[in-house]
Structure 1
Amino acid sequence: MSLGLPDRILLALGALAGLLGVAASAAAAHIQGADSLKTAAQFLLFHAPAVIGLVALTGTGATHRLLTRVAASALVLGLALFSGDLSLRALHGIPLFPMAAPTGGFLLMGGWLLTAVAALIPVRR
């Protein structure tokens, strides 16, 4: 089964998360006291394969397609908020916006919960 545009966008965003995770890891290695940048990099690198895997699952039909897409989208948005906020604070000393990191963290947890639910809902064939 071929991937539609929403899945291709999620796949590209998952790959971008991996790229940014590598870049943030490299930057953190050269910045004194960049623990929050290291955390942002770890979150990006841990979740990038998860997003890519969820897109692959939508293509196979092994999980509920819409719910799996929503789960992947929640992970992508959560990463943008959580890692974006930590990175901006580490590199420029400013937050993305108030409560961005906690909001992103909740979205990440929600994305994982939705992944579990998508795995448990029977797929109609």
Structure 2
Amino acid sequence: MPGLPRLFAAFGALACGLAVALGAYASHGLEGEAAGRAGLAALFAFGHGLALQLLVREASGRLRLAAAGAMLAGLLLFAGSLCGAVFLGWPTRLAPAGGLLLIASWLMFAVDTLRR
């Protein structure tokens, strides 16, 4: 799938932009636990969005693309779960699964890097 790396990189850039807005809202529009959750979601969205932007732009190989997919899914589950709790009152039960996917994605990137 030749366009998949660009799509992952575009989602990464989008995550970074949304993270800046979320971080500003967490700092100026929220208080207490909600501010903490939104701030953590913003931090993870920015860091992993930037990683997707840089690590996947010119990705080649199935392992790297699988790592990018795991990172994107983990980011959506982790940050999405925290944002769902802040804005919609949802439970954060998907956050741990998202965190595990983020950890797995970094391990996959490490293995792919050592194999090159």
Give the TM-score of the pair, scaled to structure 2.
0.89
Cα gap change, 1:77 to 1:45, in 2 (>3 Å): same
Q: Which runs of 4+ in 1 moved over 4 A?
A: none
Tell me the CA shift for residue 11 of structure 1.
1.2
| 3-state SS, counterpart of residue 31 of structure 2 | coil
Tell me, which stretches of 5 or more residues in structure 2 are unaligned? none
1:41 has 2:42 as partner: yes
Equivalent residues in 2 for 1:1-125 (5 A)?
4-29=2-27, 30-33=29-32, 34-58=35-59, 65-95=61-91, 99-122=93-116
Rounded Cα–Cα distance in structure 2 between residues aligned with 1:72 and 1:95: 26
Q: Deviation string for 1:51-102 (max 9, x for gaps)?
A: 11111351xx5xxx22111111111110000000001111222137xx3100
Q: Deviation string for 1:15-64 (max 9, x for gaps)?
A: 11112211210110111111011000000011111111111351xx5xxx
Q: Which has the larger radius of gyration?
A: 1
Cα gap change, 1:57 to 1:119, in 2 (>3 Å): farther
Tell me, which stretches of 5 or more residues in structure 1 are unaligned? none
Rounded Cα–Cα distance in structure 2 between residues aligned with 1:43 and 1:86: 11
Q: Is the 8 A contact 1:40 1:82 kept in 2?
A: yes
Rounded Cα–Cα distance in structure 2 between residues aligned with 1:57 and 1:48: 15
Q: Is the 8 A contact 2:8 2:57 kept in 1?
A: no
Task: Give the % identical residues.
Answer: 38
| 3-state SS, counterpart of residue 110 of structure 2 | helix
Q: How many residues align?
A: 113
